[in-house]
């Protein structure tokens, strides 16, 4: 029985060593900045010199890109009317520069229609007006 306990202990320690070993993995370190200086320590320093800092060479970009500013102007509109699920909603938005205007509407679960009209510009920020049309229907719970 003692022999089995010793064999078991040896196998556990060898298994633990294999779990935590690094298996000879090495990390490669690459220095991108190069500092060049003299390593001559035989002569006394006569004057103070600053070591030059050399930037790594940048690869030559063979492609030329023109950075164009595109004036932000768009308009979109969409709507959904699904008789199977009862999903009804719509949305439109217009942007001209920094000014955005829009509106969306949707059918609420209580039977009302929510309409949100919004505007946004850099002077006033985002403003929204929310309207509810219709009377809310709440069934009685038993």
Q: Break the chain into its structural domains and give their ranges.
A: 73-133
Contacts of 30 (CB under 8 A, 6+ apart): none
pLDDT digits (tens, 9 = 90+) for 20-59: 555 555 555 555 555 555 555 565 556 556 666 666 666 6
Beta pairing partners, 123: none
Determine if the pTM surpasses 0.75.
Answer: no
Average pLDDT over residues 83-109: 95
Rounded distance, CA 13 to CA 131, Å?
72
What whole-number distance in Å separates Cα of residue 103 and Cα of residue 115? 7
The span from the first CA to the last CA of the chain, in angstroms, equals: 71
């Amino acid at each position: 029985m003692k022999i089995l306990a010793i064999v078991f202990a040896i196998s556990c320690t060898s298994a633990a060593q294999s779990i935590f070993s690094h298996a000879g993995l090495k990390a490669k370190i690459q220095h991108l900045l190069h500092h060049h200086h003299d390593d001559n320590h035989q002569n006394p320093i006569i004057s103070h010199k600053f070591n030059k800092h050399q930037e790594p060479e940048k690869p030559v970009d063979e492609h030329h890109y023109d950075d164009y500013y595109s004036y932000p102007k768009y308009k979109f509109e969409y709507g959904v009317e699904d008789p199977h699920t009862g999903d009804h909603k719509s949305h439109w938005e217009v942007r001209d520069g920094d000014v955005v205007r829009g509106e969306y509407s949707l059918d609420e679960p209580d039977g009302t229609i929510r309409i949100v009209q919004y505007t946004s510009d850099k002077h006033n920020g985002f403003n929204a007006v929310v309207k509810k049309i219709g009377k809310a229907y709440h069934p009685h719970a038993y």
